[in-house]
Amino acid sequence: MSGPRALVAALLVGACVAPAAAQRSAPHATVVYAVGREPTTPIPLFTSSLVENEDLADQLFLHLAVFKPGALVTGDNALAPALARSWRRVDPLTVVFDLDHRARWQDGTPVSAHDVVFTWQLANKVATDQSRLEPIAGVEAVDQWTVRVHFKRPFAEQVYNFAFLMQPLPSHLLERLAPEAIATSDFARRPIGDGPFRFDHRVAGQLVELHA
């Protein structure tokens, strides 16, 4: 299977083990899946709504919260912590998210509330679907790990609207770039995320490889 419309993406997966244990264990499993076209910009906000880009971005970048297994609704009870370890309602228009203090970008930099604010501001400039942003009145960093989100009106899907749809990007790598330059930047060609997999390499038109 070859060619730009039959891209094979290889994910090398497995638990991290100590060197001595690694010598005794079997090689890491390899999962290979085929997609219809090449994921050329697998970074949130720049996926062009292509499922191939979005699927890959989900392996590289954490959501603030994700759906619980079997969830059939989008209310608060359907979501489980991810990058945000918890959240709380201050009033009908305000939700505060507490980030996991352990979270790191894959270059070792801590993930911070500033990254969340930066990504929300960036989304307002580049997102093609502004309807997702319209209910949000403002986002602010309370401290390094705390984000306060203000909504324009009460509604049942506030946490979903922000937490699931928000996949922060690393401000320390991107805030000096013009928004329109990000999609064609070195970062887009070799993303640095905070998710369960890190980008390893790409062979154009053939494969993308990620490591756990």
Predicted pLDDT of residue 29? 62
Residue-wise burial string across 32-46, b where 16 or more C-beta atoms lie within 10 A, e elsewhere: eeebeebbbbbbbbb
Asked if pLDDT for residue 111 goes beyond 60, the answer is yes
Q: Which of 72-76, 98-102, 184-188, 196-200 has the lowest mean pLDDT?
A: 72-76
Predicted pLDDT of residue 208? 87
Asked if pLDDT for residue 85 goes beyond 80, the answer is yes
Q: What angle do CA 51, 52, 53 make, to 5 degrees?
A: 90
| Phi–psi pair at 112, nearest 5 degrees | -130, 170
